[in-house]
Amino acid sequence: MNTTAKLISLHGGHSGQYCSHARDPLEAIIQRYIELGFSKVGITEHVPPTNDNFLYPDETKLNLTAADLYKRFEDYFKNINCLKKKYASKIKIFIGMETETYTGYVDHIKNLTSKFQPDYIVGSVHHVDDNSFDYSRGEYERIALLYGSYEAMYEKYFDLQYEMIKELKPFVVGHFDHIKIYDEDYEKRLLLPQIVQKIKRNLILIKTLDLVMDFNLRALNKGAKEPYITTSILKRAAEMGIIVVPGDDSHGVNEAGDHIDKAIEILKALGFDTQWPEPRLLT
C-alpha cells in the first residue's frame, strides 16, 4: 500500500497576472509550491471568452475586452513555458487551461488547444445555457427560477457536463458537482433519482475515457464543510475505480497548496489510489 502520496495539485495556480479575480504574479505562486515541497503541479489558467458577452463583471469593470483577454492568455502561455524550463530542476510543471462551456465552446477550446498545445485541459462548467451560475448567489437563484427549480438547473448542468466531457475529453474533470455552489440542500438534491442517474452516466463516461476527477479544495477556504466532490459522489467514484486528484484551485500565493494534505487523507481513507497519473492531452 502506498503511504507516501506526493503533494500535488492539478487544478489551480490562477494568478493576478492572468486572471482578474486572482492575485500575485505567477512566478511567486510557483515558488510557493516549491517551498511547500510539491514535486509536481498543474497550472490551469482560465481560457479567454469567445466574445465580450462572456466577460466576468471584474473584467468589465477593468474595461477589458475578449481581445485583451486573448492577448493576456497568449502571454500566459509564453510565461508558463519559460517558468516550466526555469524551475525544471525543482518542480515538474504541467501546463494546463480551464475550460468554459458557453455557446461555441467546442470549437473555441479545440482551437486554443491546437494553438497553445497545453499539457492537458481541466474541463469545467461555470455556465448553463450561457448563464454564469457561480459568480454570485443572486445570479444562481435567478437561473434556478428560469428553469423553475434547483433540480431542473442541476439536470441542465449535468447534461452539459456530459456533452463537454464527450467533446473535449479533458484529462481532469473540474469540480464535478460545482452546481451545488450556493445550494444549502445540495446533499439531498444530489441523491434524487433523476439526478443520480445523470451523475452515474457522467461517471461512467469519465471511467470509460480514463479521465481523472478534480478533488477541488477551494470551497474549504470559503467556509464550505466539504470540497467538491461531495462524499456521496466521491464514494461512487471510489467504487468505480476512478482516479481523483487534489486541486487547490488557488487564486494567489496564500492559497497555493491549501488543504492538499487533508485531501490526500480523505482519498486514502476512501480507498483511492494516490499514485497520481501524469496529465496528458487526449484530443
Footprint of Zn ion on this chain (CB under 5 A)?
A: 14, 124
Q: How far is the CB of 134 from Zn ion (least distance, A)?
A: 7
| Nearest to 51, CA basis, from 68, 37, 63 | 68
For the chain, count helices (H), then strands (E): 11, 8
Nearer to Zn ion, 14 or 156 (CB): 14
Angle between helices 105-116 and 66-86 (to 10 degrees): 40
**In the bound complex, what is the minimum distance in angstroms from residue 19's beta carbon to Zn ion?**
6
For residue 83, list its beta bridge partners.
none
Grid coordinates standing for 28?
A: 511567486
C-alpha cell of residue 195: 439526478
Helix (H, G, I), strand (E, B) or coil at 21: coil
- State the nearest-atom distance from the C-beta of 76 to Zn ion, in Å: 13
Taking CB atoms, the residue at the shortest distance from Zn ion is: 124
Nearer to Zn ion, 8 or 181 (CB): 181
Which DSSP string do the residues of 138-173 spell out, in sequence order?
Answer: HHHHHHHHHHTSHHHHHHHHHHHHHHHHHHH--SEE
6 vs 132, beta carbon nearer Zn ion: 132
5 vs 174, beta carbon nearer Zn ion: 174
Of 98 and 119, the one with the shorter C-beta distance to Zn ion is 98
| In the complex, minimum distance from the CB of residue 243 to Zn ion, in angstroms, rounded to a whole number | 19
CB 172 within 8 A of CB 211: yes
Cell readout for 264 is 490526500
Q: Give 236's contacts (C-beta < 8 A, 6+ positions apart).
A: 199, 200, 203
| Residue whose CB is less far from Zn ion, 192 or 224 | 224
**In the chain, what's the furthest Cα-to-Cα distance?**
54
Nearest distance from C-beta of residue 241 to Zn ion, angstroms: 25
Q: Dig out the grid coordinates for 192 from the structure.
A: 434524487
Task: Please state, in angstroms and as integers, the Cα–Cα distance from residue 125 to each residue in 68, 122, 162, 164, 186, following that order.
Answer: 23, 10, 10, 8, 17
Residue 14 vs 189, nearer CB to Zn ion: 14
Within 13 Å, how many C-alpha atoms sit on residue 98's CB side? 21
- Shortest Å, Cβ 118 to Zn ion: 16
Q: Which of helix, strand or coil describes residue 44? A: strand
In angstroms, what is the minimal distance from the CB of 221 to Zn ion? 12
CB of 14 to Zn ion, least distance (A): 5
Please say whether the beta carbons of 282 and 169 come within 8 A: yes
